[in-house]
């Protein structure tokens, strides 16, 4: 069949028009962002899954054409659970690599090590981890839940189910100390009391003496605020002492290191917690997310928890700001986000509270059963009311501190 010159030119033009837009995006100068999460050391149980979710978020954005006609490029750092490396890499990301934003930090200590550095170098900072609340800094955005969203739900439920005497065990740094105050506050509000509180450095692995103290005190429950790989030893020793099923445990951070999968089903059975996300959520959006994660990581796909999923939400909120501002520059980005940012994701709707740079989210109360989370209750759109009581960046934009919120316990 003869092909005319006109038909050939027409078909060639159609072929050129059909070249995917993504090719142009790939050829453009990338927008660099940095991720600083522990991939090794005692905190890697938290850092590895959140890094995976940040990577997936970047993939999701790039598959939709990137931002401003440019691809997003992720620069990854492993601080090895070492605060010194956190400060080194935050400085490197802001000065040498000149990234547009930094996503990083697992513990509050790591956050407070890098937050002032990134503010000094005018690099927007997103902290995707639950924490004790109170950070008030226009340059930073705290994606994770605070005690007013989680502890406020766990304690009343636990008191109603188990009784009024609570024994608190907590990590010996600001997260543990401040969160323990919130447990006392919500215990008092529920007509209960904390009978004892013990704090443990992150390197402690022997809890034999503490378990004996708890047995002697005979509380109705234990509230755990332990953190990191070393502290998993408590739950193993608790089970070995025959205490599983004898005395219940509640926590506002158990599971964010996938402890329910690292421990045996017997060792974690019955532990109660509340978060903005559980992998077991039966929603279409969550199922689709897990499918994309599986497609990307295959047999290395991590079990996902709130801190991990907040890495994805953090990148998506940043992307909302870039689109709204039509810029990656710091102040246009911040001002655009403060006008409103909503992300409908695997855990439900995450909505920016402009006054605090924290987020209103759905909260789920869950209990471990056979190594998985059984969802007991759902609390839609819980605001960060603890931080809102002390922070208003709309009226005080130059505020720059972490308030120690008086819990009233």
pLDDT 10s digits, 86-110:
999 999 999 999 999 999 999 999 9
Confidence of residue 23 (pLDDT cuts 50, 70, 90): low
- pLDDT cut 70: percent of the chain above it: 93
Q: What is the pLDDT of residue 257?
A: 83
Q: What is the mean pLDDT of residues 140-155?
A: 96
Q: What is the pLDDT of residue 1?
A: 34
Do 119 and 139 touch, CB atoms closer than 8 A? yes
Strand 72-77 relative to strand 31-36, pairing: parallel
Q: What is the mean pLDDT of residues 342-368?
A: 98
| pTM for the model | 0.88
Confidence of residue 408 (pLDDT cuts 50, 70, 90): low
Q: What average pLDDT does the chain have?
A: 92
Encoding tokens for residue 340?
A: 């409103």
More confident residue, 383 or 12: 383
Do 230 and 204 touch, CB atoms closer than 8 A? yes
Lowest mean pLDDT among 26-30, 201-205, 299-303, 330-334: 26-30
Q: What is the mean pLDDT of residues 184-205?
A: 95
Q: How many CA atoms lie within 13 A of 25 on its CB side?
A: 17
Do 73 and 33 touch, CB atoms closer than 8 A? yes
Lowest mean pLDDT among 10-19, 47-56, 122-131, 227-236: 10-19
- pLDDT cut 90: percent of the chain above it: 85
CA pair distance 164, 188, nearest whole angstrom: 9
């Amino acid at each position: 069949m003869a092909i005319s010159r006109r038909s050939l030119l027409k078909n060639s033009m159609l072929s050129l028009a059909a070249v995917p837009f993504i090719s142009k995006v790939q050829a453009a100068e990338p927008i660099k962002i940095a991720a600083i999460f522990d991939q090794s050391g005692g905190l890697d149980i938290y850092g590895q899954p959140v890094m995976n979710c940040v990577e997936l978020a970047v993939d999701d954005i790039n598959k939709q054409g990137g931002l401003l006609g440019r691809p997003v490029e992720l620069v990854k750092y492993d601080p090895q659970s070492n605060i010194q490396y956190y400060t080194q890499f935050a400085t490197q990301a802001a000065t040498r690599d000149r990234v547009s934003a930094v996503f990083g930090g697992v513990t509050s200590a790591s956050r407070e090590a890098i937050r002032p550095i990134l503010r000094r170098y005018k690099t927007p900072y997103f902290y995707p981890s639950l924490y004790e609340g109170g950070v008030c800094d226009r340059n930073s955005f705290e994606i994770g839940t605070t005690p007013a969203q989680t502890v406020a739900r766990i304690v009343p439920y636990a008191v109603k189910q188990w009784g009024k005497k609570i024994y608190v065990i907590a990590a010996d740094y600001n997260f543990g100390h401040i969160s323990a105050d919130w447990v006392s506050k919500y215990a008092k509000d529920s007509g209960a009391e904390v009978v004892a509180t013990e704090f443990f450095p992150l390197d402690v692995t022997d809890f034999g003496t503490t378990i004996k103290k708890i047995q002697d005190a005979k509380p109705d429950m234990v509230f755990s605020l332990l953190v990191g790989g070393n502290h998993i030893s408590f739950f193993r020793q608790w089970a070995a002492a025959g205490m599983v099923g004898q005395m219940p445990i509640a926590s506002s951070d158990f599971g964010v290191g996938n402890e329910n999968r690292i421990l045996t089903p017997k060792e974690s059975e019955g532990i109660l917690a509340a978060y903005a996300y559980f992998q077991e959520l039966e929603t279409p959006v969550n199922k689709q997310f897990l499918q994309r994660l599986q497609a990307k990581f295959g047999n290395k796909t991590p079990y996902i928890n709130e801190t991990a999923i907040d890495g994805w939400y953090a990148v998506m909120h940043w992307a909302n700001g870039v689109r709204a501002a039509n810029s990656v520059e710091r102040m246009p980005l911040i001002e655009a986000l403060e006008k409103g940012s909503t992300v409908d994701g695997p855990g439900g709707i995450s909505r920016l509270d402009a006054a605090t740079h924290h987020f209103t989210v759905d909260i789920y109360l869950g209990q471990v059963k056979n190594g998985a989370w059984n969802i007991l209750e759902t609390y839609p759109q819980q605001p960060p009311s603890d931080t809102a009581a002390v922070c208003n960046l709309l009226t005080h934009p130059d505020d720059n501190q972490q308030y120690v919120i008086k819990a009233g316990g």
